[in-house]
Amino acid sequence: MKPIECEGCPLYDAPGPVAGSGPPDASICFVGEAPASDEIASGLPFTGGAGRVLSVLVRKAGGDRNYCWIRNSVRCQVPGNDMGSYEHAEAAIQHCSENFLIPELEESPHVKVVVPLGNSANWILTRRGKVGEGIYNFRGYPYVDPVYKFIVLPTIHPAALMRDRTMFNVVVTDLRKAFRIANEGYKRPPEEFQIPSTPFEVEAAVETLLQAKVPVTIDIENPNGQLVVLGFGIMSLCHVCAFRRRVRRPLLENRRRGGAGDCGDQSTPCVAGRARRLCNSSNTRGFG
């Protein structure tokens, strides 16, 4: 017999529920997707293959899963264990999380960081991305919502690492960050933005980046094959953006974040030349 809160949930007749694990005073909570057969049998989350991977990840990040909360977005088993193709996925996640997971997190005075493992949990906690889609665009970046008393830091689901271990160390790094925030609190790194207003200022700023002996990031936005934005940065300390086209909305959005200036079409040739040199220099790394 399921509790009254379950009435109306698409998974009402599915096997479960499997609640959570972890001590009442845990400061970090991992949130997966749904229990599978191993979890239904044990009555505990993450006790199958993905659970073993999670234990290793947590240990390598310097933690111990016995001192963490472990939860799922839904507490009952999804047909075929495949949330991505389950037609009522969003309704079930919303119903279960809003009745159990989110109230539990909000009522805890101890939880400082919540780590969505995969996009189901990320979607319900941040309303970003889509259920069944990849989480690569969101992983590793702390998400601050004034509604929550905790920071959300999404990463890749351990089950995905069972299929492809390429991102294993990336997830360990994400979890290290999560433990650090849980122990020390979250401080947004100081940022220094440069807003060039002329092509000459852009050229000077890019030249400064060329001289720097630290990794430089370049962000190239080219929707529909047209170059719209070139962004350059040194770690999180300095950012320069140059716009080829006067695209109103991105410009406003970037200005609101304090990170961009519109240099106009004239700046493109000089910036593009410097960008080529930056791309070829040994201190440059590119991100998509």
Q: Is 105 in the site for ligand SF4 (CB under 6 A)?
A: no
Q: Is 6 in the site for ligand SF4 (CB under 6 A)?
A: yes
**Least spacing, CB of residue 101 vs ligand SF4, in Å:** 9
Q: Is 16 in the site for ligand SF4 (CB under 6 A)?
A: yes
Q: Is 36 in the site for ligand SF4 (CB under 6 A)?
A: no
**Which residue lies nearer to ligand SF4 by CB, 100 or 138?**
100
Query: Measured between alpha carbons, how far is residue 190 from residues 12, 142, 176, 207 in Å?
Result: 48, 15, 20, 23
Q: Using an 8 Å Cβ cutoff, are 91 and 52 in contact? A: no
**Which residue lies nearer to ligand SF4 by CB, 84 or 142?**
84
Site size for ligand SF4 (CB under 6 A): 14
Residue from the set 47, 99, 119, 254 that interacts with ligand SF4 by CB under 6 A: 99
**Least spacing, CB of residue 128 vs ligand SF4, in Å:** 22
> At how many degrees (to 10) do helices 119-126 and 89-96 cross?
60
Q: Which stretch binds ligand SF4 (CB under 6 A): 6-14, 47-55, 206-214, 224-232?
A: 6-14
How far is 24 from 287, CA to CA, in rounded Å? 39
Q: Is 92 in the site for ligand SF4 (CB under 6 A)?
A: yes
Residue from the set 36, 50, 53, 76 that interacts with ligand SF4 by CB under 6 A: 76
Residue from the set 65, 71, 75, 177 that interacts with ligand SF4 by CB under 6 A: 75
Q: Which parts of 228-247 interact with ligand SF4 (CB under 6 A)?
A: none
Helix H, strand E, coil C: the string for 155-201 is ECCHHHHHHCHHHHHHHHHHHHHHHHHHHHCCCCCCCEECCCCCHHH
- The number of residues making up the chain comes to 288
Residue from the set 17, 35, 45, 118 that interacts with ligand SF4 by CB under 6 A: 17
Q: Which stretch binds ligand SF4 (CB under 6 A): 94-102, 111-119, 120-128, 183-191?
A: 94-102
User: Which is nearest to 138 in space by CA: 147, 125, 104?
Assistant: 125
Name all contacts of 172-177 with Cβ < 8 Å and 24+ positions apart. 172/57, 172/60, 172/61, 173/61, 173/140, 174/115, 174/139, 174/140, 175/57, 175/58, 175/60, 175/61, 175/63, 175/115, 176/61, 176/62, 177/140, 177/142, 177/153
How far is 278 from 203, CA to CA, in rounded Å? 12
Q: Is 96 in the site for ligand SF4 (CB under 6 A)?
A: yes
User: Which is nearest to 98 in space by CA: 153, 40, 147?
Assistant: 147
Q: Is 32 in the site for ligand SF4 (CB under 6 A)?
A: no
Q: Which parts of 177-216 interact with ligand SF4 (CB under 6 A)?
A: none
Q: Which parts of 55-74 interact with ligand SF4 (CB under 6 A)?
A: 74
Residues within the interface to ligand SF4 (CB under 6 A): 2, 6, 9, 11-12, 16-17, 74-76, 92, 95-96, 99
